Amino acid sequence: MIIISSSGEMQAQAIQLRQKSMRIGLVPTMGFLHDGHMSLVRIARKMSDIVVLSSFVNPTQFGPAEDFNKYPRNEGQDDRLCELEGVDIVFRPSAGEMYAKDHSVYVEEMDLSSGLCGQSRPGHFRGVTTIVAKLFNIVLPQIAVFGRKDAQQARVIEQLVRDLNFPIKIVLGQIIREPDGLAMSSRNSYLSANERERAVGVYKSLCIAADLYRNGVSDTATISNRIRSSLEKECRPDSIDYIDIVDYMTLKKVDKITIKSLIAVAVRIGHTRLIDNVVLPSEDNQY
């Protein structure tokens, strides 16, 4: 496994690999890797000859009051996990490497980004689409793998690829959960023991929603109310950013679950913001 920090060197390697007809699979991350990330690496491993994992805490996707400075980092542990999983290249650029002092070009998705996390995190998706477009141009992958926990991000990136004609196949990996159901996230490391116990309530509320749907309830107002009361009881969140039920493709709110719908929640427990979701009808009976 090699570690590259220069974008020029990464791009030169990628060009050489493609000249040798190698299929490059990219797993973009912000580091502090966990099994959720590694499941994406496993998908990339199966579908490509060379797996590149990028590790970059992207400043432009954090708001001024957000956790950029305290975002967890552990490069040694990340490298060990990548070695074990057979990653070929870790691309870990510095902020200066990715953003010149006079950087002035951004990529912005104008529709799917506006609701859900876009409401409470203005500018977040502009930062995501900008860095992902840069990574695509530097790593030159044929395949890029993203997680379904960030369901809105996944849709925004699918749209980025379609609308800007990137010749890249986007593959989405399932949400990977802790044994008690909490969706794996680097931000879980912020939770105190008490907050960690409460955090599992996010998953429980989604299970209640899935059960209601399975028992014939498709009215989204009823399902949202049940999610809210479950969150308040089990999770005791400091705030609820949103509980939204939207069409999976358009991310627009729906009154009834008739076609593939995304039930997404975002809560704050202490200083930690957690997101999770379920897609109904469920394709894999995960719930």
Q: Look up residue 43 and give its two tokens.
A: 């998908």
| Closer residue to ligand PAF, CB minimum distance, 28 or 201 | 28
Using the rule CB under 6 A, is 93 a contact of ligand PAF? Answer: no
Could you say which of 48, 58, 205, 230 contacts ligand PAF (CB under 6 A)? Answer: 58
By CB atoms closer than 10 A (0-12, 13-18, 19+), residue 193 is exposed
Could you say which of 78, 150, 241, 276 contacts ligand PAF (CB under 6 A)? Answer: 150
Q: From the CB of 36, what's the least distance to ligand PAF, in Å?
A: 10
| Closer residue to ligand PAF, CB minimum distance, 128 or 208 | 128
Site mask for ligand PAF (CB under 6 A), range 15-54, x = bound? -------------xxx------------------------
Q: Look up residue 144 and give its two tokens.
A: 């890029």
| Closer residue to ligand PAF, CB minimum distance, 34 or 204 | 34
- The distance in angstroms from the start CA to the end CA of the chain is 37
Separation CA 195–CA 188 (nearest Å): 9
Residues 174-233 that bind ligand PAF (CB under 6 A): none
Q: From the CB of 234, what's the least distance to ligand PAF, in Å?
A: 26
| Residues whose CB falls within 8 Å of the CB of residue 272, separated by 6 or more in sequence, listed in order | 187, 188, 190, 191, 195, 199
Per the listing, tokens 């974008």 go with 7
Q: Examine the residue annotation and report whether 37 is marked as an active-site residue of this protein.
A: yes
Q: From the CB of 57, what's the least distance to ligand PAF, in Å?
A: 8
Sheet bearing 261-269, strands edge to edge: 239-247, 261-269, 272-280
Kindly name the residue from 37, 103, 124, 271 that is annotated as catalytic: 37
Residues 105-144 that bind ligand PAF (CB under 6 A): 128, 131-132
Separation CA 285–CA 16 (nearest Å): 42
Q: Which of 195, 269, 268, 257 is nearest to 278 (CA)?
A: 257
Using the rule CB under 6 A, is 61 a contact of ligand PAF? Answer: yes
Q: Which of 115, 109, 160, 101 is nearest to 135 (CA)?
A: 160
Q: From the CB of 3, what's the least distance to ligand PAF, in Å?
A: 17
Using the rule CB under 6 A, is 78 a contact of ligand PAF? Answer: no
Site residue total, ligand PAF (CB under 6 A): 10
Q: Which of 227, 194, 195, 107 is nearest to 159 (CA)?
A: 107
Separation CA 230–CA 198 (nearest Å): 11
Q: From the CB of 34, what's the least distance to ligand PAF, in Å?
A: 11
Q: From the CB of 179, what's the least distance to ligand PAF, in Å?
A: 23
The site for ligand PAF (CB under 6 A) is made up of 28-30, 58, 61, 128, 131-132, 150, 153
Q: Which residues are catalytic?
A: 37
